[in-house]
Amino acid sequence: MDDSLPTHRIDDQATPPGFQETPTAPASTGTASTADRLRAALAARDPQAPALAEDAMRAAPADYDVPLLAALIMLVAKQPDRALTYLKRHQKRWVPGKRTDLLTALALAQQGHVGRAGTMLEAAGLDTLYRAYGALPQGVNVAEWLGGRLAEIARKRGRSPPPKAKPKPAKPARPTPRAIAMPAAPALPDLPRLEAGFTTSIEFANADAIRVTGDLPDPTWFRLRGELTQLGLFQGFDELLCLPLLHGVETHWYQVETVRKVLKQYRGRVLLADEVGLGKTIEAGMVVKEYMLRGMAERVLILTPASLVGQWREEMAEKFSIDCATTHDKLLRDDPAAFWAQPRVIASIAAARRKEHAALLAEQGYDVVVVDEAHHLKDQSSASYHLVNRLQKRFLLLLSATPVQNNLIELYNLLTLLQPGIFKTPKEFRAAYMVHGKPREPVNREKLRDLMRGVMVRNTRALAALRLPRRHAATLRAAPEPEEAACYRVLTALVRDVAADGQHRLAAQHLLSAAGSSPAAAAVAIARFRERHAPDKSWSALQSRYAALGAGAKQAALLDLLQRNPAEKKMVFVHHRDSLAHLAGLLRARGMAFATFDGSMSGPEKDASVAAFRDSVPILLCSESGGEGRNLQFCNTLINFDIPWNPMAIEQRIGRIDRIGQVREVFVFNLATAGTIEDQVLRILDEKINMFELVVGEVGAILGELEEQQDFSTMVLEAWLQASDAARDAAFAALEGQLTAARRDYEDAKQLDEALFGNELDAG
Amino acid sequence: MSSMLAEPGPLQRFVAELLTAEGALIEPIEPEGLDAVVPPSLQQALGVPELCRLGFGTALPEAAARVGIESDWLERCARVMGERGRWTKVMLDASAGLGDAEAALAHELALDNATFRLVAARPAWTRYLLFDLRYTAISDEKRDGVLRCIVNLATGALPDAVLERITPWLDDAGTDAVPPDSSMLPPDWPRSRVLDVLRHAVPPRLAEALAQFERGLRRRLARDQDRLHAYHNDLYREAMRRAAGAAEGDPVHQREQLRIAAIGREYRAKLDDLGHKYALRVALDWTRTLELVMPVVRLEVLVRRRKADRTVWLDWNRLARRLESPPCEDSFGPERPRLACDDAVHLVSAAGLAACPGCGKPYCRACHPGGCPKCGRA
């Protein structure tokens, strides 16, 4: 990262004329980048600049310059809190440097912490205008404003701080406070800062008993004593039994600390509110496993959004060796009573809250209940809340990265589930903690945090020292040959016909998805469809046309990518097995070395593939399960040969290499044939939620609300299958609107939670 | 045992072995239980009847008594165990040879201010003492663990790296192997010497084991300090503002001055409280000692300094295939010695030969453990 000081010369002519009142250019200037628009707004001192900055932070939070420029705009607009929020976000992705130091110091000064600001500037060597100017974000020219701020800091540090209350008109200078200041530091406006002593003492409890020799060796009793000592460590949860029994889990210290705290301090009732991507699921799984190993839990219920049931089942089985029944099982429909009587169940919360199931659930007793995406319980009058409230449970783990979305009363509701009575009645909570008419603003933040400390853990990426690498994503839209485009049009029309009455939806999805992957996959998918559903001859003709196509439009783009920078390792994700086989044949024919990794392989075969990829071959062709549970951080390039319609699946692919331990920049290439559903899906995800710039885990958080009723891929299919082009465009426009709103809601909730919880509720 | 029975957990395994060692008859039952016929002495110590059924899982076998880690069963087991199992002796044999002794020595020993040369390398035997120490660290939180310390009685080395490599073999080490003639083994150390080495060697190793724990509590301490300062700073500035508004000699001015002094006092008192809250106290409890007899290759090395030279012996462990570093004769810590002192050619780390903070003259802490020979500063 380049955070070096630019070598600008400051002279009178280069000094900007200051902010003008002239309106700035509109935000949508076409080719101008987001950062350039911010620079323009800053240069013109546009009154709309703060709003533009907010939009820019939503649109391009991962851009290096955008958060810095947005923070600077907020400082110019005298909104230091927002500036600090943006700087914090910048620091989550980038190593802090002089730019962040300068802007942070200016924000602190605006908040009244002039002493800290001055110290920070001095420490960073930014206490002169020349140096500070060089540390401004590149391309901005606010020397006059900056000079004023630095002079103000210097002036205020030299005398007593201004009163906190509303500013008063200038008064005659008062006598200096030198005569009445504390003797230790009469000239300083701040209370001199002292450090508490930190002492360590070690006491040998039984040094006299230490034996250095003996007569008769006694290995049995010696071993038993060792075991007794180890078992003693497990008392009180200081040592975790579960750690050696986890599979494919790379545990981090903050996760272990969190689990310890949950077990010891919170006694199994806690809101786990870690920031996205820090592994709340792993923490919850460890807690469940620990309780089971200690014989403290037998019956476990995990409630989760429907779209995550499968993922939870897999993780619990593979990582924690805990097999669970799920609401996908047939038994739920055949015999609900028997289904819910099972000791370990992962349930879609939507299914569980249905009246007939909720009644059965209420009769069961559970040792541990886990609720994923627990912000769905924010409303006390909702069926989900009633369900969890009525459950008979000993330990309760609520998981949410954004527990408070709109109103502090949501926090009351969640924490009251964990510790009934913690905040007394809603009325008392409102009176004690909420500003009247401002439901998002706490009256006494510190007191609220003190209470939350007893029921909530929130680890942040800053605590975990998690610096995610910069990610670059590019979408390559391959123009299809006329015959391939024609085949796709015919397929779309045929699929619309067969799915018109609401039937064959799964088949329709599979056919279109296969055609978006490769002609080879399309031909095989059509053949299978014909076998099962015996449709008319037009399907047969289409199958022949696809079979005759051979290479699809994306093939050339893939080969081009693979041949560039040949020494760099590249993972190629292919959803459709027939496409995978086709590509394997193609690479083999061209003499390109590669390894494969797919779900049908045994564990040792997968290990061998990953080893070959790491040590000898530059390409790994893999299915959706590619690299699961393996360390692949040695690779930093990922190619999505085909695009799953489910964004979570795309995110999981990215997460294979963009994870803790990846130190290089990550490159993601998406291949799509123009005019296909995948093309449309990529456009929506890229433009509306900036999917490829999100931290792994955030997609799920954004789609959470949207997918309450229907998953994203179904929505895409529904839109695509509209009868007319106009109806299709309208359906996609509606979907885009929903996504944009979901992203905005998520960002709002994230900001609110950051402000509310800060970084004082972590497990460290 | 039926092959259909589930794999017992660690507690069940331990209790079964303990009962068996004490002469009880046991039979595993499902789910996660044991039926036992217990001799009278054990009945009393464990507080169970002659025919008892014990359950270890969440679901208990019918009429079983629950045995859990969080119950008092570990104390009962400790009572049964008494002082047994505190010491044993095992032998580990290994035949690997040392190919290039010079290269091994050059790899392991690096002295910045002295030269050394290999005089001889010959097969030998050594005795290690391995001490298991349970530690309990208490600050605002608690952390328990077991620290293992190893001492080579032939060379005085504290080879942590070798310990790491041989640990997997220790469980299978036998007592029935034929030991070498006692004349080939290094003699016992006086107990006081062993304790002295442990007193030096344990603190730095303990600090390593508790590093993460200490980082966490220092972070919490820093956070509390910030909060404390912010609170008192607000009070202080408010009082300063009011005092500045009144003329000197004015009662308001005097009152605010007193208030400012009181704020300072309270701030310091609260900081003291924080210091007490986060003070780290570690209690060490020796649990057992293992005497390990092993074949080694012993290297005789001549270390030469300007005014003197000295012969040191280093062992190459045949199982770990690694040469043991000499200990820092000042700290006995995990870091390798890098320097040799002038007079006695003690091998020490940089801190062991650092300048005296009083007079600035470097001196060897191994020669002068009491303090600087020039100015006397400890």
**pLDDT tens for residues B274-300?**
998 899 999 999 999 999 999 999 999
CB spacing of A190 vs B240 below 8 angstroms = no
pLDDT in tens, A386-418: 999 999 888 999 999 888 877 888 888 988 888
What mean pLDDT comes out for the span A275-282? 86
Residue B337, classed as helix, strand or coil, is coil
Other CB atoms within a 10 A radius of the CB of residue B247 amount to: 10
Which pLDDT band holds residue A92 (cuts at 50, 70, 90)?
Answer: low
Most confident of the following: A19-28, A560-569, B13-22: B13-22
- H-helix segments, chain B: 10-21, 40-46, 73-81, 101-108, 160-170, 191-209, 211-244, 251-278
Considering only CB atoms, A297 lies closest to which of B58, B283, B287, namely B58
pLDDT > 70? residue A31:
no
pLDDT > 90? residue A23:
no
Please tell me the distance from the alpha carbon of residue A513 to that of residue A574, in angstroms, as a whole number: 11
- Helix (H) or strand (E) holding B355, with range, is none
Please tell me the distance from the alpha carbon of residue A271 to that of residue A402, in angstroms, as a whole number: 11
Contact B282, B136 (CB under 8 A): yes
Helix A65-76 with A98-110: angle, nearest 10 deg: 20
pLDDT value at residue B3: 41
> In Å, what is the CA distance from B97 to each residue of B100, B123, B160, B167, B293?
9, 9, 21, 20, 17
Which pLDDT band holds residue A277 (cuts at 50, 70, 90)?
Answer: confident
pLDDT value at residue A692: 82
Please tell me the distance from the alpha carbon of residue A759 to that of residue A678, in angstroms, as a whole number: 40
CB spacing of B275 vs A210 below 8 angstroms = no
pLDDT > 90? residue A168:
no
CB contact residues (below 8 A), chain A span 236-295, against chain B: 236, 238-239, 241, 253, 257, 292-295
Residue B36, classed as helix, strand or coil, is strand
Please tell me the distance from the alpha carbon of residue B274 to that of residue A677, in angstroms, as a whole number: 61
Chain B residue with CA closest to A177: the answer is: B244
Please tell me the distance from the alpha carbon of residue A543 to that of residue A246, in angstroms, as a whole number: 47
ipTM, two decimals, is 0.90
Please tell me the distance from the alpha carbon of residue B28 to that of residue B5, in angstroms, as a whole number: 8
What's the residue count for chain B?
Answer: 378
What mean pLDDT comes out for the span A546-570? 88
CA angle A478, A482, A483 (to 5 degrees): 110
pLDDT in tens, A524-538: 999 998 888 766 788
Give the full edge-to-edge strand order of the sheet including A637-640.
Answer: A471-478, A666-673, A637-640, A570-573, A619-622, A595-597
* 3-state DSSP of A670-689: EEEECCCHHHHHHHHHHHHH
Express as a percent the part of chain A with pLDDT over 90: 26
Considering only CB atoms, B74 lies closest to which of A205, A232, A446, namely A232
For residue B292, give both structure tokens: 């390990």
Please tell me the distance from the alpha carbon of residue A545 to that of residue A534, in angstroms, as a whole number: 18
Residue B26, classed as helix, strand or coil, is strand
Chain A residue with CA closest to B151: the answer is: A212
Task: Let me know if A614 is exposed, middle or buried by CB neighbors in 10 A (0-12, 13-18, 19+).
Answer: middle
pLDDT value at residue A7: 30
Residue A501, classed as helix, strand or coil, is coil
pLDDT value at residue A762: 80
Other CB atoms within a 10 A radius of the CB of residue A624 amount to: 15
pLDDT > 80? residue B252:
yes
Examine residue B31 and say whether the peptide bond preceding it is cis (omega within 30 degrees of 0): yes
CB-based contact, A198 to chain B, within 8 Å: yes
What mean pLDDT comes out for the span B295-322? 93
CB contact residues (below 8 A), chain A span 173-192, against chain B: 174-177, 179-182, 184, 189-191
CB spacing of B248 vs A202 below 8 angstroms = no
What mean pLDDT comes out for the span A282-310? 89
Please tell me the distance from the alpha carbon of residue B270 to that of residue A42, in angstroms, as a whole number: 46
Which pLDDT band holds residue A164 (cuts at 50, 70, 90)?
Answer: very low
Q: In A, which residues are within 8 Å of B191 by CB distance?
A: 210, 212
CA angle B116, B117, B122 (to 5 degrees): 130
Which pLDDT band holds residue B5 (cuts at 50, 70, 90)?
Answer: low
Please tell me the distance from the alpha carbon of residue A312 to that of residue B39, in angstroms, as a whole number: 49
Please tell me which residue, B333 or A116, carries the higher pLDDT value. Answer: B333
Which pLDDT band holds residue A705 (cuts at 50, 70, 90)?
Answer: low
Contact B118, B109 (CB under 8 A): no
Averaged confidence pLDDT in chain A? 81
pLDDT value at residue A279: 86
Residues linked to residue A674 through DSSP beta bridges, in sequence order: none
What mean pLDDT comes out for the span A415-432? 84
pLDDT > 70? residue A3:
no
Considering only CB atoms, B288 lies closest to which of A201, A222, A760, namely A222
pLDDT > 50? residue A572:
yes
pLDDT value at residue B149: 95
Q: In B, which residues are within 8 Å of A179 by CB distance?
A: 248
What mean pLDDT comes out for the span A451-473? 81
Please tell me the distance from the alpha carbon of residue A269 to that of residue A628, in angstroms, as a whole number: 31
Please tell me the distance from the alpha carbon of residue B180 to that of residue B184, in angstroms, as a whole number: 7
Number of inter-chain CB pairs under 8 A, A vs B: 241
Interface probe for A, chosen from B13, B278, B288, B289 (most Cβ of A below 10 Å), is B288
Residues linked to residue A399 through DSSP beta bridges, in sequence order: A272
What mean pLDDT comes out for the span A730-756? 87
What mean pLDDT comes out for the span A556-580? 90
Q: In B, which residues are within 8 Å of A205 by CB distance?
A: 283-286
Chain B residue with CA closest to A295: the answer is: B58
Which pLDDT band holds residue A471 (cuts at 50, 70, 90)?
Answer: confident
